[in-house]
C-alpha cells in the first residue's frame, strides 16, 4: 500500500532543497544547547510508529563512549504550539500532514540564523516515514556540520593564543583559553581544560610518514600504549594511560584540512590505577612535511555525561591547519 502511495510522488516530490531563506530581511539569532534537536509532530503521530522511528534513529548512541549516550537530545513539540520563540531552535525537524506538496526539504536559516530546518510533508504517517528514512543520513550530516560550526563560533569568543603547537609542530588548532599547556617536550605537547569532576585533554605528537599502519587494529593501540607509557602518567607511580581492550575501537578513513587521516574512537584506561574514559585519535598524513601528525583528545569525568565533551574535543582537532 505504501509503495502505491509513494511511487507517483518520487519524481516530482523527493527533492532536497538546501538553501538560505532570502525572503526574510532579518531572522533572529538561533539558540539551544549543543546537539539538541526540536521535533515538531502531532501528539498522535509521536506516540505511534512514526514517532518511535524518529526517536530510535536520532537517539542512536554517540560512538566511542564507555556507556551509551544519545547522539542528540530530542525535544518534542506539537504543531499547535510551534510558534514564536519555539522556532528559534538551531536544529528543527517539522512533520506536516498535507496532500498538496509532499516530500523532504532541508532549508538553512528559515526562522533563525544559523539554523537547519527539515520539512517533511506527506499525506499520512507512512509517507512521512518514507521521506524521513530516505533522507535521515543527509539530515544528520547537516545537523552535525551545523553543530560543529556553532561550537567553533562559541570557542572563538575567547581563543587560546599560546604558540606551543605552532612552534613545536607547525600547526594551529582553534580552542578556548580555558585550555592550558601542561607538558611541552620534544615531539609531545599536552593541553588540558578543567571541567566538573575532571578534565579534557588534547595531546599532539608526530610519527614517521612511512610507519607501518597496515593492521590498524593492532598498530594504533600499540602506538597509543607506547606514547602513554612515555608521556601520560597516572596518579600513582608506575601507572600510565593505555588502550582499554574491553571495548573495540571504531576506525574510519577521513580527512582533516584536505589531508588523509585515520580516525579512531575508543576508550582508555590507566595501567595500575582506576581511571578510564573515551578518546578520539587522528593520525593525519602530512606529505608536505613527510610525517604523520597525531592529535588525540581524551576526557576524564567520572559520573558525568561525556558526549558533549568528546564532541568538543573532536571539533577542536578537526580545525587543525598547517602553518605556512
Per residue in 120-170, pLDDT tens? 999 999 999 999 999 999 999 999 999 999 999 999 999 999 999 999 999
**Residues 111 and 50 grouped into a single domain:** yes
Query: Of 155, 174, 207, which one is at a domain's C-terminal end?
Result: 155
Confidence of residue 272 (pLDDT cuts 50, 70, 90): confident
In the prediction, which pLDDT does 324 show?
76
**Residues 209 and 82 grouped into a single domain:** no
Number of domains into which the chain is organized: 2
**Residues 314 and 222 grouped into a single domain:** yes
Q: What is the mean pLDDT of residues 60-66?
A: 93
Q: What is the mean pLDDT of residues 5-23?
A: 41
In the prediction, which pLDDT does 298 show?
98
pLDDT over 90 percentage in the chain: 85
Q: How far is CA 43 from CA 77, 120, 123, 131, 239, in A?
A: 8, 16, 16, 19, 54
pLDDT of residue 54 exceeding 80, the answer is: yes
- Rg value, the chain, Cα: 22
pLDDT of residue 318 exceeding 80, the answer is: yes
In the prediction, which pLDDT does 126 show?
97
**Residues 231 and 286 grouped into a single domain:** yes
Q: Where are the beta strands (DSSP E) in the chain?
A: 19-20, 36-40, 73-77, 91-97, 103-108, 116-122, 171-172, 180-185, 188-195, 198-208, 240-243, 250-256, 259-271, 276-286, 291-300, 321-322
pLDDT of residue 16 exceeding 50, the answer is: no
pLDDT over 70 percentage in the chain: 92
**Residues 45 and 147 grouped into a single domain:** yes
Q: What is the mean pLDDT of residues 113-119?
A: 96
CATH number of the domain that residue 164 is part of: 3.40.1000.10
pTM for this one?
Answer: 0.90
**Residues 89 and 216 grouped into a single domain:** no
pLDDT of residue 18 exceeding 60, the answer is: no
**Residues 49 and 127 grouped into a single domain:** yes
**Residues 59 and 134 grouped into a single domain:** yes
Domain interval for residue 147: 2-155
**Residues 122 and 187 grouped into a single domain:** no
Query: Of 101, 129, 155, which one is at a domain's C-terminal end?
Result: 155
SS3 category, 76: strand
In the prediction, which pLDDT does 25 show?
55
Confidence of residue 274 (pLDDT cuts 50, 70, 90): confident
More confident residue, 189 or 3: 189
**Residues 138 and 180 grouped into a single domain:** no
* 193-229 pLDDT tens trace: 999 889 999 999 999 999 998 899 999 999 999 999 9
In the prediction, which pLDDT does 8 show?
37
**Phi (first) and psi of residue 123, to 5 degrees:** -70, -20
In the prediction, which pLDDT does 11 show?
33
**Residues 226 and 239 grouped into a single domain:** yes
In the prediction, which pLDDT does 19 show?
46
Query: Of 136, 155, 174, which one is at a domain's C-terminal end?
Result: 155
In the prediction, which pLDDT does 12 show?
34
Angle at 143 between CA 137 and CA 32, to 5 degrees: 145
- Mean pLDDT for all residues in the chain: 91
Confidence of residue 247 (pLDDT cuts 50, 70, 90): confident
In the prediction, which pLDDT does 214 show?
84
**Residues 6 and 92 grouped into a single domain:** yes
Cell of 168: 613545536
In the prediction, which pLDDT does 147 show?
97
SS3 category, 191: strand
Cβ atoms < 10 Å from Cβ of 233: 17
Amino acid at each position: 500500500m505504501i509503495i502505491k502511495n509513494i511511487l507517483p510522488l518520487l519524481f516530482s516530490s523527493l527533492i532536497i532543497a538546501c538553501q538560505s531563506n532570502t525572503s526574510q530581511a532579518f531572522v533572529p539569532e538561533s539558540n539551544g544547547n549543543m546537539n539538541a534537536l526540536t521535533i515538531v509532530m502531532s501528539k498522535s503521530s509521536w506516540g505511534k510508529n512514526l514517532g518511535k522511528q524518529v526517536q530510535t534513529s536520532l537517539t542512536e548512541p554517540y560512538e566511542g563512549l564507555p556507556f551509551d549516550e544519545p547522539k542528540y537530545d530530542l525535544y518534542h513539540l506539537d504543531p499547535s504550539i510551534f510558534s514564536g520563540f519555539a522556532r528559534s531552535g538551531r536544529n528543527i525537524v517539522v512533520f506536516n500532514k498535507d496532500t498538496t506538496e509532499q516530500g523532504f526539504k532541508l532549508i538553512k536559516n528559515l526562522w533563525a540564523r544559523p539554523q537547519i530546518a527539515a520539512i517533511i510533508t506527506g499525506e499520512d504517517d507512512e509517507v512521512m516515514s518514507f521521506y524521513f528514512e530516505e533522507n535521515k543520513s543527509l539530515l544528520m550530516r547537516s545537523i552535525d556540520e551545523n553543530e560543529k560550526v556553532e561550537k567553533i563560533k562559541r570557542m572563538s569568543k575567547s581563543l587560546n593564543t599560546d604558540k606551543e603547537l605552532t612552534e613545536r609542530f607547525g600547526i594551529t588548532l582553534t580552542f578556548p583559553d580555558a585550555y592550558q599547556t601542561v607538558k611541552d617536550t620534544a615531539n609531545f605537547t599536552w593541553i588540558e581544560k578543567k571541567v566538573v569532576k575532571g578534565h579534557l585533554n588534547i595531546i599532539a605528537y608526530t610519527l614517521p610518514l612511512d610507519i607501518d599502519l597496515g593492521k590498524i587494529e593492532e598498530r594504533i593501540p600499540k602506538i597509543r600504549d607506547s606514547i602513554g607509557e612515555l608521556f601520560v602518567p597516572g596518579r600513582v607511580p608506575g601507572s600510565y594511560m593505555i588502550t582499554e581492550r574491553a571495548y573495540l575501537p571504531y576506525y574510519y578513513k577521513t580527512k582533516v584540512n584536505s589531508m588523509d587521516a585515520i580516525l579512531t574512537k575508543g576508550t582508555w584506561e590507566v595501567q595500575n590505577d582506576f581511571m578510564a574514559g573515551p578518546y578520539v585519535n587522528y593520525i593525519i598524513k602530512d606529505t608536505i612535511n613527510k610525517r604523520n601528525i597525531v592529535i588525540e583528545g581524551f576526557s576524564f569525568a567520572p559520573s558525568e555525561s561525556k558526549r558533549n565533551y568528546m564532541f568538543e574535543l573532536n571539533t577542536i582537532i578537526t580545525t587543525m591547519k598547517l602553518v605556512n
